[in-house]
Amino acid sequence: MKTYRITNLDTPVSRIALGCMRLGGSWGDVPVTADDRKRAVAAVAAALENGINFFDHADIYMRGKSEEVFAGALKELGVRRDQVVLQSKCGIRFAGSPSPESPGRYDFSYEHITASVEGILWRLDTEYLDILLLHRPDPLVEPDEVARAFDELYRAGKVRAFGVSNHTGPQIALLQASLDQTLVVNQVELSPLHSFLIDDGVLADQREAIYANASGTLDYCRLHGIRVQAWSPVAHGVLSNPPDDAPANVRTAATLVTQLAAENETTTDAIVLAWLLRHPAGIQPVIGTTNPLRIADSCLADDVVLSREEWYRLFIAARGGPLP
């Protein structure tokens, strides 16, 4: 698989990443089963066999179980730590913690960031993270407090690079002004059916500019060398298998995806991911499936280069109307 470079990382990363949220079984307190572990091993093995070396986690995924199961899968497969690039996220806190009346919330405090990383490292059974992301913007963020946490983690060798998730350009700039470390990643929701960050640049000064707070985020990341990662890049697979009650734009886009897959002699998942890979921002899709066959089908996107006309046809079909 072709690779990208991420600032401050020595290892080139696969253009497609595996999101590891579903590896841990269930969100509840149900223990991980032997079948869960078996599925995780198969998924990680399929990813590695198809050229993926980048694995995305978060401390909250299945309440930490996903990171533990992944570490066990690497051990069972005999994968060395230097053969993979590990990224995790922190900052989301569940309702009921630490007290019953505590709401679900975001927490970029020094104490929470540093404690979260200690837990992540223990669950992943590693001495360091390649990248740590702040998961969702915290309205109460104190950038100097984040800087203190990042400095400590970096100096201790526990985190090699830092980034954010679901942040706008101005939010990134606010944090960066206080940091010694460069923010190198922004992970956002992005797919043909969730293209608001791309629409933002097309619909400026138009009445249908429905996502004004995108604030030039995609352009900001390109200008500052920040790798854009796309979560939910195939929109839960609805462009490959649309439900019966799907809206007209979804049905139209799904039909086009099937047509493009046939014309390019590839899979429907590969076409949807190739749409992201075609964008000049150098977007890195983070696929969330644990099905080895779908992982392989997705990785075929690395060999697909959509033409300008194909890219725009899917863009317009998925957004449900012509460009201004």
Q: Which helix (H) or strand (E) holds 13?
A: strand 13-14
Q: Which residues contact 87 (CB under 8 A, 6 or more apart)?
A: 17, 54, 55, 56, 57, 129, 130, 131, 132, 133, 185
266, 224 in Cβ contact below 8 A? no
Residue type, 76: E
Alpha-carbon distances of 276 from 89, 121, 307, 317, rounded to whole Å? 22, 31, 12, 15
224: Cα separation from own chain's centroid: 19
- Which of 61, 106, 154, 220 is flagged as catalytic? 61
By CB atoms closer than 10 A (0-12, 13-18, 19+), residue 180 is exposed
Active site residue 61: yes
Token code pair at residue 260: 């493009």
Residues recognised as catalytic? 61
